[in-house]
Amino acid sequence: MKALQIHRSPARFGMARVVSAVSSAGGVHVGPLELRAVDDPPRPGDGWHRVHTRLSGVCGSDLSLVGGQASVYFDDWVSFPFVPGHEVVGELDDGTRVVLEPVLGHEARGFDPPFEGAAPGDGNDYAHLVGGTIDVGIQTGFCCATGGGWGPWLWAHESQLHRLDKTVPDERAVLVEPFAGGIHAALLAAPVVADVDDPIVAVLGAGTMGLATVAGLRRYVPGVRIAVGARYPHQRALAHEFGADVVVPDDQLLRAVRREVGCHVIGGHLSGGADVTIDAVGSAASVTEALSMTRPRGRVVLLGMPGEVSLDLTGLWHRETELKGAYTYGTETLADGTRARTFDLALDTVAEVRAERLVSATYRIDDHVDAIAHAAAAGRRGAVKIAFDLRTDSLQAGDLQDDNRRVS
Amino acid sequence: MPRPGFVLDVDRSTPPTLFWRGEGFSLERLPVDRTRIIYPPEPLDGLPNLDGAIRDALLNPIDMDPLPSLLGPDMKLTICFDDASLSLPKMQRPDNRQRIVEAVLDLAAAAGVDDVHIIAALGLHRRMHEYELRHVLGDRVVDAFLPRGTLYQHDAEDPDNLAVIGETTHGEIVEINKRAADSDLVVYANVNQVAMDGGWKSLTTGLASYRCLSHHHNPESLQNTRSLMDRHHSALHHSIWRMGEVLRDSGPKVFQVETTINTEAFPSPFEFLSKREWEWSGRDRALFVGATKSLKRTPTPMKRKIFHSIESPYRTTSVQAGFTESVHERTLENVYAQHLVEVEGQTDILTMGIPFISPYNPESIMNPILVMCMGLGYLFNMYRGKPLVREGGVIIMTHPTYADFHPVHHPSYIDFYEQVLTDTTDPAEMAARWEKQYAEDEWYRHLYRTSYAYHGVHPFYAWYWGAHGLQHAGRVIVVGGDPQAVRRIGFTPASTLNDALEIAADVVGRSATISHLHVPGVLVADVK
């Protein structure tokens, strides 16, 4: 089949890193991503289904890979060459539409789940991610054995599939995965604010993940006041619509939090601050800012993948700030004590907020250079989510179907 | 003999007119046959012997006993003085306040007064830096009093050092500095640059608490202040004068010393700014061209430094001392003698150049809120009788209006710009929705008391200052300003004066009449 694929090529990763430092989309020309004919991966085993991609989103972690920015940490957690694409809505051979929960968890790898009814992301030992019946890979889209969403089809384990109602449009369904990530981050705020009067959660960044977090906070963390820093006007408008109480340009968030709390500014830090700050950007600057605006003994949740950053952590030490990562999703405990799978919460949330409006543009896979460029400059270009459209029943995809037949 | 102010009808022979544009200026051609330029009177002559005049005023006061007879060994004497908001630009040393304070201290020493405190009457303004205190009071006074802690700055947020004097017939609480309230005599040293200042305003704002100030520094008072330069038609001054009556009847004895200064604001090489354009010499033109070109190449912080370093060669035109009300009436006569220009009727458009400075940014940055305050608060209010522009007319200002703030002096202004102005520009609405939060913010309070920040509520007051102008004008246009900042303050941006006049035509028509308020200097249009 013809698919976009990433090879292990230190030279190409290096070149992409250099070029993308100048142009955020430039790395795609020289980097490790290639559109090519790839061998069909063999069926990994029983319980695996062929999923024909309909839409597959471009995520920030994809962009960092394409731009050669991803941390070497992942070298041991992925298997090359792989077809990227983990935000996927697709179709089974029988025509059933599904959303993919991309984590390749215990069941997909032939292990017993850590508890009955566990989601793929659950479990406190990640050994299974590099073992079992398939190759190494944290998720579909990072594993050579399964394929990924940036190709015409992929293999998905039964434990990864969420079947969709006919009424759910593809454009909404493709946002379930990022929304699950945002909701998971939002719920990481819940324990910190549970016993606080008039709690405040600050969200830094209002791309797809930031907006999903805002929606998650509003729905699943009751009574919290949400302050959002968003760089672009359309992001600010959406943050308001998704339930934020205070929305300001990103460089004004610290001052906005101070006003909400009524604390002092000492040096570059607030004397008090937000109970929780969720950093949906993931840069050295954003982590530093998050630490500056979070109250002593508060929590900073890193939702945006930070990679290699240089930080002064003296403030974190002095303020006893808790730094917490927020990776994917799993099984959540809600405020009323009930437990739910994050993907189920996300399916409800995307319907409530009509998340399909976040899909700003879809591209054929042949136009991946334009797609990546658009995604890399999404905010500046007034966009939120960019996705590949591989639907065979769409006007654009007609050509693609021919291509696919020819290649395969 | 200095020439009086006058009104020039613009015709084809009128040369381009000077407009301030913050830390710069430009020459603009105004439309012929429908524009008039209001020129200020030339600076009046100064007193030949200022120290002698001050001493004479202290010994021969108006409606009070001579100062020496009010002084004695066991008394508490408090001397208060206007803060760095006066004069603008700052006057060359020695400042009038230094001359007054030294003269009073000489008399106090002769009378054996030991208990003397000197207080900067800064109200809710920022505290003065030591170099500013030295400029205003002189090294001798500062060195003698500052180390002993008897020279200090009023703190409107120090509950232990405020005292309620009483309440006016309108229920306004008069609360001032406790030391002053407990004194046997308060001497106030004033520099009067405009008719708005002086009189009871000196004490009831300069030494007041927020609670006291809020009775007259509010949208309702300012919307009914017609104008700030005409205290008899100003709701703000009516409130202040009611408070003055409480002070007179129940407060400490006050000995007011007021001085008036002329409009000689610019020393060499900027003296051409004060001249009428057709009288510019070849040297003046060369200076204008040279200054304009070099300012264009100079970074803004450096430009600010240059302009704020100007020390004005003002001459003092009068000194009067004694009972506050009587003194101030005499002061007003002298101020008006310098400022008044008779003008016939109103026009559809008022144009004005906004300078680099206002009372609230000495040694600081003219942020967008202060641009509004300077334009609609101060310059628009430079009238007696009626505003120069008709109700519903257009006000056109020239200023770069950058969204730039001094982080130490104006911290609450930044929040005001980011939070309040994105919500509303209506003074009454912002007062109801936001003022309390800013007035009681602990961080602002801390910075006002211990650093050099204006009080948290101060941006509201600066905005209220323009409340009458906001209500009166059909549209306000800013030429050359940062469009985003101009829109944030609720005004319309324009690139050039011609563009602004085009925009104004939508409101007042193509044949609209225009008044240009010539700044600098200072004038009050007596509009008949």
Residues of chain A with C-beta less than 8 angstroms from the C-beta of B411:
265
Query: Are A112 and A213 in the same domain?
Result: no
Who wins on pLDDT, A391 or B269?
Answer: A391
Measured CA distances, A385 to A235, A291, B331 (Å): 12, 28, 68
Q: Which residue of B has its CA nearest to A272?
A: B443
Query: Are A240 and A379 in the same domain?
Result: no
Which of B418, B442, B446 shows the shortest C-beta gap to A255? B418
Q: Which residue of B has its CA nearest to A255?
A: B415
Does the pLDDT value for residue A342 go beyond 80?
yes
Are B443 and A248 within 8 A, CB to CB?
no
What CA–CA distance (Å, rounded) separates A189 from A277?
Answer: 8
Residues of chain B with C-beta less than 8 angstroms from the C-beta of A259:
415, 419, 437, 441
Give percent above pLDDT 90 in chain A.
84
Does the pLDDT value for residue B247 go beyond 60?
yes
Strand partners, B190: B258
- Which among A325, A342, A376 is the end of a domain? A325
Give percent above pLDDT 70 in chain B.
100
DSSP state of B251: S
Q: Write the pLDDT tens digit of every residue in B20-74.
A: 999 999 999 999 999 999 999 999 999 999 999 999 999 999 999 999 999 999 9
Does the pLDDT value for residue A399 go beyond 50?
no
A238: nearest Cα among A53, A72, A384 = A384
Distance from CA of B15 to the nearest CA of A (A): 45
- pLDDT-based confidence at A402, cuts 50/70/90? very low
Q: Take residue A338 and report the two structure tokens written for it.
A: 């009930």
Q: Write the pLDDT tens digit of every residue in A208-219.
A: 999 999 999 999
Residues of chain B with C-beta less than 8 angstroms from the C-beta of A258:
443
Query: Are A267 and A138 in the same domain?
Result: no
User: A330 lies in a domain?
Assistant: no
Residues of chain B with C-beta less than 8 angstroms from the C-beta of A256:
418-419
* Domain count within chain A: 2
Query: Are A58 and A140 in the same domain?
Result: yes
Are A262 and B419 within 8 A, CB to CB?
no
Which of A255, A262, A263 shows the shortest C-beta gap to B414? A255
Q: Is B419 part of the contact surface with chain A (CB cutoff 8 Å)?
A: yes
Are A263 and B443 within 8 A, CB to CB?
yes
Predicted local distance difference test score (pLDDT) of residue B264: 93
Distance from CA of A259 to the nearest CA of B (A): 8
Residues of chain A with C-beta less than 8 angstroms from the C-beta of B442:
262-264
A-interface mutation test, from B419, B433, B451, most A Cβ less than 10 A away: B419
- Which among A325, A359, A379 is the end of a domain? A325
Mean pLDDT of A54-66: 93
* Complete domains list, chain B, with CATH: 6-42+337-527 (3.90.226.30), 50-261 (3.40.50.11440)
Are B418 and A258 within 8 A, CB to CB?
no
Are A263 and B441 within 8 A, CB to CB?
no
Predicted local distance difference test score (pLDDT) of residue A24: 67
Q: Write the pLDDT tens digit of every residue in A9-50.
A: 888 888 887 887 777 677 788 888 999 999 999 999 999 999
| Domain ranges, residue A163 | 2-177+350-407
Query: Are A173 and A269 in the same domain?
Result: no
B471: nearest Cα among B430, B425, B512, B436 = B425
> Residues near A365 by Cβ (< 8 Å), separated by ≥ 6?
A2, A3, A4, A35, A150, A151, A388, A390, A400
Query: Are A111 and A163 in the same domain?
Result: yes
What kind and span of H or E run contains B514? strand B514-517
Rounded to 5 degrees, φ, ψ at A324 are: -130, 130
Mean pLDDT of B202-225: 97
- pTM exceeding 0.80: yes
User: A286 lies in a domain?
Assistant: yes
Mean pLDDT of B88-106: 97
Q: Write the pLDDT tens digit of every residue in B345-371.
A: 999 999 999 999 999 999 999 999 999
Query: Are A28 and A139 in the same domain?
Result: yes
What CA–CA distance (Å, rounded) separates B478 from B480?
Answer: 6
Query: Are A162 and A223 in the same domain?
Result: no
Residues of chain B with C-beta less than 8 angstroms from the C-beta of A262:
441-443
- Which among A325, A360, A394 is the end of a domain? A325
Which of B418, B419, B443 shows the shortest C-beta gap to A264? B443
Distance from CA of A385 to the nearest CA of B (A): 28
B-interface mutation test, from A228, A250, A252, most B Cβ less than 10 A away: A252
User: A340 lies in a domain?
Assistant: no
Domain at A258, CATH number: 3.40.50.720
> Residues near B253 by Cβ (< 8 Å), separated by ≥ 6?
B70, B184, B185, B186
Length of chain A: 408
Amino acid identity of residue A188, one-letter, is L
Query: Are A195 and A172 in the same domain?
Result: no
- Residue-wise DSSP of A36-101: EE-PPPPP-STTEEEEEEEEEE--HHHHHHHTT-S-GGGGGT--SSB----SEEEEETTS-EEEE-
Q: Write the pLDDT tens digit of every residue in B265-287.
A: 999 888 888 889 999 999 999 99
Q: Write the pLDDT tens digit of every residue in A132-150.
A: 999 999 999 999 999 999 9
Which of A255, A264, A271 shows the shortest C-beta gap to B415? A255
What CA–CA distance (Å, rounded) separates A281 from A284?
Answer: 9
Cβ-based contacts under 8 A for chains A and B: 23
Q: Which residue of A has its CA nearest to B439?
A: A262
Is B171 in contact with B242 (CB distance < 8 Å)?
no
User: A184 lies in a domain?
Assistant: no
Is A118 in contact with A63 (CB distance < 8 Å)?
no
Predicted local distance difference test score (pLDDT) of residue A393: 60
Does the pLDDT value for residue A400 go beyond 50?
no
Q: Write the pLDDT tens digit of every residue in B328-342.
A: 999 999 999 999 999
Mean pLDDT of A354-367: 96
Does the pLDDT value for residue B228 go beyond 80?
yes
Does the pLDDT value for residue B514 go beyond 60?
yes
Are B442 and A264 within 8 A, CB to CB?
yes
User: A345 lies in a domain?
Assistant: no
Query: Mean pLDDT in chain A?
Result: 92
Does the pLDDT value for residue B454 go beyond 50?
yes
Q: Is B443 part of the contact surface with chain A (CB cutoff 8 Å)?
A: yes
Are A264 and B441 within 8 A, CB to CB?
no
Query: Are A241 and A164 in the same domain?
Result: no
Q: Write the pLDDT tens digit of every residue in A243-262.
A: 999 999 999 999 999 999 99
Cite the DSSP H helix spans in A188-313.
190-193, 208-220, 233-241, 253-261, 284-293
What CA–CA distance (Å, rounded) separates A390 from A367?
Answer: 12
Distance from CA of A213 to the nearest CA of B (A): 23
User: A272 lies in a domain?
Assistant: yes
ipTM of the complex: 0.85
**Residues of chain A in Cβ contact (below 8 Å) with chain B:** 248, 252, 255-256, 258-259, 262-265, 271
Is A108 in contact with A120 (CB distance < 8 Å)?
yes
Query: Mean pLDDT in chain B?
Result: 96
User: A204 lies in a domain?
Assistant: yes
Q: Which residue of B has its CA nearest to A265?
A: B443
Q: Which residue of A has its CA nearest to B438?
A: A259
- pLDDT-based confidence at A404, cuts 50/70/90? very low
Domain at A70, CATH number: 3.90.180.10
Distance from CA of A319 to the nearest CA of B (A): 19
Query: Are A102 and A234 in the same domain?
Result: no
Query: Are A155 and A288 in the same domain?
Result: no
What CA–CA distance (Å, rounded) separates A377 from A5?
Answer: 22
User: A397 lies in a domain?
Assistant: yes
- Tally of helices (H runs) and strands (E runs) in chain A: 14, 19
Give percent above pLDDT 70 in chain A.
96
Predicted local distance difference test score (pLDDT) of residue A14: 82
